[in-house]
């Protein structure tokens, strides 16, 4: 006799229905990626399974056609990797400074970290835009990476993590005669490794999907990231739906694979702020 079988089934059915609702848009896009763009324009995005119009043409076009999709894809990948590595290194270093030392102005500075977590970045768009322009950084990746390099949320997370690291390690390092930076690099960074995974995922996701600011900064089509490139396909004067839909579908795949492989870290990364908030 299995206890609570009706409840089990009820729960399962409830989530199954929700799950289907959530997956329908993906299914619709997957389906549309096999149909010609014309069909989409004419009948809309729908769930109609019509084998007569479905083919692999769009995928063939994606991989062999003459377009910039993979330039954008590569740019996004590159930018994401660079941004994640730099942000993690810089933010971890700052977080260590906050957690390992007592110094004048520390609390005031940390309040600043908390404050900028609350200021909508969008407010800064225009002044940042003029600043970037004055610095001669328009149309460069630096303009995208630099403002986020000391990410408040990431600093905050690392600092929380470092509070769990015993101060004795630092003291022991000093006794051994290591200088301050060596302690950080040789003793602390290795300990922080697990927290890096979660933050890498969180920052990676943000960076991969980042849109508004890069969109404003970049004007050279060869430098576009994937979301910007896909958006440029959204014009009635291009007949781009073949590429747009299959491209959108394909852009989800790498993230999906990463997600499946590192699911635990994704969830840790996403919830990092909430747990100890």
Partner 1 sequence: MVKRFLYSQKVAPYVFVVPFVLVFLVFWVYPLGSSALMSFQKVTLGQEAAWVGLDNYDKLMGDGIFLKAVINSAIYMILTLAILIPFPMLFAVLINHKFMWAREFFKSSFFFPALTSVVVAGTIFRLMFGEMEGSLINSVLGWFGIEPLKFLKGQVMGFIALIALATWRWTGVNMLYFLAGLKNIPDEYYEAASIDGASPFQRFARITMPLLKPTTIYVLTISIYAGLAMFIESMMLWNGNNSPKNIGLTIVGYLYRQGIEKNNLGYAAAVGIVLLVITMVINLTQLAFTGMFKKED
Partner 2 sequence: MKSKGLVLLIILSMVTFLWGCGKSTPASGGETSVLDGGAGESATELSYWTFVELHGQHFEKMLEKWNEANPDRQIKLNVTVMPYDDMHNKLSIAVQTGVGAPDIADIELGKYPDFMQGTPQLESLNDVAEPYQGTVVQSQLDLYSKEGTLYGLSTHVGATVAFYNTEVLEEAGVDYKTIVTWEDFKQAGIQVYEKTGKTMGTADTSATWQSSMLLAQQGADFTDDAGNPQVNSEALVKGLSMLKDLQDNNVITTIAGGQPDTEEAYGEYNSGNFVSAFMPLWQMSRYTNYMKDLSGKIAIAPLPVMEEGMPRSYGGGGTATVVSKTAKDVQLAKEFIAYAKLSLDANIEIWNTLGFDPINMDVWDMKDVTHNEDNQFVQYFVNNPFDVLNEIKDEIQLIKSVSASPTINNVLCTVTLNEIFEDGKDVKQALEDAQAQIEQELK
Residues that bind partner 2 (CB under 8 A): 38, 41-44, 66-71, 74, 82, 85-86, 89, 133, 136-143, 145-146, 181-182, 185-186, 215, 219-223, 231-232, 234-239, 241
Q: Which residue has the tokens 């460069």?
A: 140
12 binds partner 1 (CB under 8 A): yes
Binding pattern for the stretch 60-99 against partner 1, x by CB under 8 A and - elsewhere: ------------------------------x--xx-xxx-
Instruction: Name which of partner 1, partner 2, none residue 51 binds, using a CB cut-off of 5 to 8 Å depending on partner kind.
Output: none
* Nearest distance from C-beta of residue 222 to partner 2, angstroms: 4
Q: Are 141 and 79 in contact (CB under 8 A)?
A: yes
Segment 221 to 250, residues that bind partner 1, using CB under 8 A: 226-228, 230-231, 234, 244, 248
Instruction: Name which of partner 2, partner 1, none residue 98 binds, using a CB cut-off of 5 to 8 Å depending on partner kind.
Output: partner 1
Among 62, 113, 144, 198, binds partner 1 (CB under 8 A): 113
Among 56, 238, 256, 261, binds partner 1 (CB under 8 A): 256
Instruction: Name which of partner 1, partner 2, none residue 85 binds, using a CB cut-off of 5 to 8 Å depending on partner kind.
Output: partner 2
Among 124, 137, 145, 197, binds partner 1 (CB under 8 A): 124
What is the token pair recorded at 178? 């290591």
23 binds partner 1 (CB under 8 A): yes
- Residue 107 vs 219, nearer CB to partner 2: 219
Instruction: Name which of partner 1, partner 2, none residue 68 binds, using a CB cut-off of 5 to 8 Å depending on partner kind.
Output: partner 2
Query: Long-range contacts made by residues 27-32, C-beta under 8 angstroms, separation at least 24?
Result: 29/245, 29/248, 29/249, 30/249, 32/245, 32/249
Binding pattern for the stretch 148-187 against partner 1, x by CB under 8 A and - elsewhere: -xx----x-----------------------xxx--x---
* Nearest distance from C-beta of residue 93 to partner 2, angstroms: 10
């Amino acid at each position: 006799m299995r206890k609570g079988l009706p409840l089990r089934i009820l729960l399962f059915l409830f989530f199954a229905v929700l799950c289907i609702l959530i997956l329908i848009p993906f299914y619709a896009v997957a389906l549309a990626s096999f149909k010609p763009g014309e069909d989409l324009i004419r009948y809309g995005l729908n769930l109609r399974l019509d084998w007569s119009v479905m083919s692999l043409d769009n995928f063939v076009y994606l991989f062999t056609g003459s377009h910039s999709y993979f330039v954008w894809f590569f740019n996004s990948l590159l930018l994401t990797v660079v941004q994640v590595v730099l942000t993690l290194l810089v933010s971890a270093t700052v977080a260590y400074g906050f957690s390992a030392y007592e110094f004048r102005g520390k609390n005031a500075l940390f309040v600043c970290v908390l404050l900028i977590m609350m200021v909508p970045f969008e407010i800064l768009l225009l002044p940042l835009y003029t600043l970037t322009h004055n610095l001669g950084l328009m149309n460069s990746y630096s303009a995208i990476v630099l403002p986020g390099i000391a990410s408040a949320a990431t600093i905050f997370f690392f600092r929380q993590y470092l509070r769990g690291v015993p101060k004795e390690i630092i003291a022991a390092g000093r006794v051994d005669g290591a200088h301050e930076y060596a302690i950080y690099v040789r003793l602390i960074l290795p300990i922080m490794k697990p927290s890096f995974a979660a933050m890498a995922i969180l920052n990676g996701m943000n960076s991969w999907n980042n849109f508004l600011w890069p969109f404003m900064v970049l004007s050279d089509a060869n430098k576009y990231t994937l979301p910007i490139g896909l958006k440029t396909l959204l014009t009635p004067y291009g007949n781009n739906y073949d590429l747009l839909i299959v491209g959108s579908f394909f852009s989800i795949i790498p993230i999906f694979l990463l997600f499946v492989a590192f699911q635990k870290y994704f969830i840790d990364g996403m919830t990092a702020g909430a747990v100890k908030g």
